[in-house]
Structure 1
Amino acid sequence: MNLRRLLAVMTKELRQMRRDRITLAMIILVPVLQLALFGYAINTNVRGLSAGIADEAGTAGSRALVMDMLATGVVAPVADAATPEQLMAWLQRGEIAVGIHVPPDFERRRIDGREVAQVLVDGSDTAVQGAAAQLAQLPVEGVSTVIVPTAVTGPRASTPPTRPISVVSFYNPERRSAVNIVPGLIGVILTMTMVLFTGVAIVRERERGNMELLIATPISSAELMIGKVLPYVAIGLVQTTVVLALGLWLFKVPVRGSLLDVYLAAGLLIVANLTLGLLISTKAKSQFQAMQMTFFVFLPSILLSGFMFPFSGMPKAVQWLAEVLPLTHFLRLIRGVMLRGATLPELWPDVLALLVFTTVMMTLAIARFRKRLD
């Protein structure tokens, strides 16, 4: 072991790392990004769930009950509904996460000690269910709980007091985590594979010497970019089919909406991720750099999209950043279609967001690509 030669190799590696700006940036930015995400953006204490309110009673007592619910900070009002059916329609379209319904005979129910309000919850997100359950613990002024003796265990035994507020969970009443995770896994897998596949596409052409052949052909930059994307669309749809089949077989995950809408939503995410990968490919100078940049995109996507941590618990600034990520919009689409039975036209804002993202990324990739060896 010659220390002089060992020092020379170490010096060479450090100098090469200093010249590789992307690697140097990853060394600094990855720990900073993780610290910022886990310390500031990630919050498992869900607050500010979008809520629709249908107060059919309209009395002072019902308004006080609604205000008590809002005072918890768990829900934030976004719209007033006339009927509980309207709340259900909003839940299905994903416009609200929680619906608060106060029946017209609120005062009579309160005197009789019966249920005075219902909290309708979008159960496709288990974090929302857990947060909304806190509303059932609120005391209601003037409610006398009714205790009914049971005939099975004798006159001394009694049923639990009637809860004045009930929480009704739709789309996943059993709170099975697989129902929430499996649809999201489609997006996570497609994000990881599609961005990586196309992220190394142009770089691989340069490293293998194929770029010289492409330069000699009359193919345009747009034709090359689109030709790189289309074969992977089929691969992404195959991956979608595999996850769907296994989810149905192993975990009994339902598909309440149209299967065509599921594949159309997956296609939108696939194309969006492929165009993002192409843009990365035009920037990276080696396949290793392309993989580094892919990881830098994948980490915020999986943490901020709502797949692992509740979206509503994040600060507003982080939510705005998450709106740029394709996975955020896909999760809303796939859970809306598979779990709530919604249609893509009903979820048009997220469809539009993915189309705009794809157009912008493809335009930038075509503008950056040049048929040159340098």
Structure 2
Amino acid sequence: MNWRRLFAIVLKELRQMRRDRITLAMIVGIPVLQLVLFGYAINLNLRGLETAIADQAGTAGSRALVMDMVATGVIKPVAQARTPQEVMAMLRQGQISMGVVIPADFERRRIDGREAVQVLVDGSDTVVQSAAIQLAQMPIDSARPGAAIVAPRQISVVAFYNPERRSAINIVPGLIGVILTMTMVMFTGVAIVRERERGNMELLMATPVSRSELMIGKVLPYAAIGLVQTTVVLLLGVSLFAVPIRGSVFDVYIAAVLLILANLTMGLLISTKAQSQFQAMQMTFFVFLPSILLSGFMFPFAGMPKVVQWLAELLPLTHFLRLIRGVMLRGAGLFELWTDVLALLAFTVVMMSLAILRFRKRLD
């Protein structure tokens, strides 16, 4: 063992690592990113769940009850409804997570000790369902004049879409998005870099293919692969875990296509920046980690701080999870979830435009 030669090799590796900005960023960036995400953004104690209130009683006692429920911090009223049917419609469209229905004979029910309040909840998210159950078990009363004293047993929770609280029903649709995000970004992230490393870029430069044609031609084959992956997950989810598809299967595939295109264009943008396939995979990791943690797949979206929620809105997986769970679990149509459809389309257009602008048919 020659210690001088060994030291020279170590020094060479350190200098090479210092020149590789992507690797240097990962050395510092990964622990910082995980510490910030898990310490600040991830919160399992849900607060401020978007809720619709249907107060058909309209009495001082019912209004006081709503104020007491809001004071717990679990719910945040964002809409008023006249009937339970309107609350159900908002639940199906994903506008709210919970609904509080107070019947017209609330006062009589309260005095008789019968069920006086119903909490309607989107049970497709088991964490939200657990928060609703905890809310219903709280003794809600008030010393204010006209306040209603309601025992926990007088508040019932009605969970829709997943009354059995099976985690697979919530996880399997989300897995479609996670798998597509991981594979599509990685596949196209190395696409242009691989052409450069294998020497095929010289052949492409000699052809009359435009930048737009090259980029779109790179995307389309992987889009077909993404649809195959979607089909495999759907078949296994339905056959092994009995995951329902309450909406249109056509809408499911349209949502998958939107995510596939968004991820492929993001991968193309990465490939125009990376200098090697290893760098492309490193940059893909920086995209995949926030996507899986902040999109609402692993941790409840409602429990994140507002600033983190705004950042999560920039991730395609966030919008896809709303689409796929809305279609498969709640039976909603894409026209009812049009905001997330437009978000994915806008993301695709922006990423593809940036990738085309950054790409040059040159070796340098």
TM-score grouping bracket, smaller chain normalisation = over 0.9
Q: How many angstroms apart in 2 are the aligned matches of 1:358 and 1:8? A: 47
Q: Secondary structure at the match of 1:99?
A: strand
| Residue of structure 2 aligned with 1:302, choices 268, 292, 298 | 292
What corresponds to 2:249 in structure 1? 259
Distance in 2 between residues matched to 1:132 and 1:15, nearest whole Å = 56
Contact 1:102-1:116 at 8 Å conserved across structures:
yes
Q: 2 CA distance for matches of 1:106 and 1:65?
A: 11
Amino acid at match of 1:281: S
Alpha-carbon distance in structure 1 between the residues aligned to 2:328 and 2:298: 18
Residue 61 of structure 2 corresponds to residue 61 of structure 1: yes
Task: Name the SS for the 1:370 alignment partner.
Answer: coil
What secondary structure sits across from 2:265 in the alignment?
helix
- Residues 180-222 of structure 1 show CA distances to partners (whole Å, capped at 9, x for unaligned) of 0000000000000000000000000000000000000000000
Distance across 1 between alignment mates of 2:48 and 2:125: 15
Q: Which residue of 2 aligns with 1:311?
A: 301
Aligned twin of 1:343: 333
* Letter of the 2:56 counterpart: E
Change (3 A) 1:79 1:211: same
Q: What residue is the counterpart of 2:262 in the other structure? A: 272
CA contact (8 A) 1:275 1:361 kept: yes
- Whether the 8 Å CA contact 2:68–2:140 is kept in 1: the answer is no
**Which residue number corresponds to residue 373 of structure 1?**
363
Q: Does 1:193 align with 2:178?
A: no
Question: SS of the counterpart of 1:135?
Answer: helix
> Counterpart in 2 of 1:83?
83
Which segments of 5 or more consecutive residues in structure 1 lack a partner in the other structure? Answer: 146-161
Q: TM-score, normalized by length of structure 2?
A: 0.97
* Matches of 1:358 and 1:131, distance apart in 2: 35
2:196 is matched with 206
CA contact (8 A) 1:111 1:143 kept: no
Question: Normalising by structure 1, what TM-score?
Answer: 0.94
Name which of 328, 341, 347 aligns with 1:357.
347
Q: Counterpart of 1:113?
A: 113
**8 Å contact from structure 1 (residues 143, 164) kept in 2:** no
Indicate if the aligned counterparts of 1:113 and 1:143 stay in contact, CA closer than 8 A. Answer: no
Matches within 5 A, 1:1-374: 1-141=1-141, 163-374=153-364
C-alpha offsets along residues 143-168 of structure 1, whole Å, 9 cap, x if unaligned? 687xxxxxxxxxxxxxxxx8110010
* 1:53–1:8 distance in 2 versus 1, CA, 3 Å: same
1:309 and 1:51 map into 2 onto residues whose CA distance is 19
Contact 1:112 1:143 in 2 (8 A): no
- For residue 156 of structure 2, give the secondary structure of its aligned residue in structure 1: strand
Q: How far off its partner does 1:138 sit?
A: 2.6
For 1:201 and 1:7, how far apart are their aligned partners in 2? Answer: 37
Rounded to whole Å, the distance in 2 between the matches of 1:167 and 1:74 is: 14
Deviation digits for residues 202-259 of structure 1 (CA, Å, limit 9, x no counterpart): 0000000000000000000000000000001110000000000000011000000000
- 1:265 Cα offset (Å): 0.2
1:114–1:186 distance in 2 versus 1, CA, 3 Å: same
What SS is found at the alignment partner of 2:99?
strand
Asked whether the 8 Å contact 1:305–1:328 carries over to 2, the reply is yes
CA distance in 1, matches of 2:99, 2:237: 29
* Percent pairwise identity: 78
Deviations along 1:39-93, whole A, 9 cap, x unmatched?
Answer: 0001111111100000000001101111111111111010101111000000000
Note the residue ranges of structure 2 that are not aligned, 5 or more in a row.
142-147
The 2-side partners of 1:262 and 1:245 are apart by 13
CA distance in 1, matches of 2:40, 2:138: 29
Preserved CA contact (<8 Å) 2:140 2:150? no
Q: Is the 8 A contact 2:69 2:140 kept in 1?
A: no
In 1, Cα distance between the equivalents of 2:139 and 2:355?
58
Q: Give, in angstroms, the shift of residue 19 of structure 1.
A: 0.6
Tell me the SS of whatever aligns to 1:163. helix
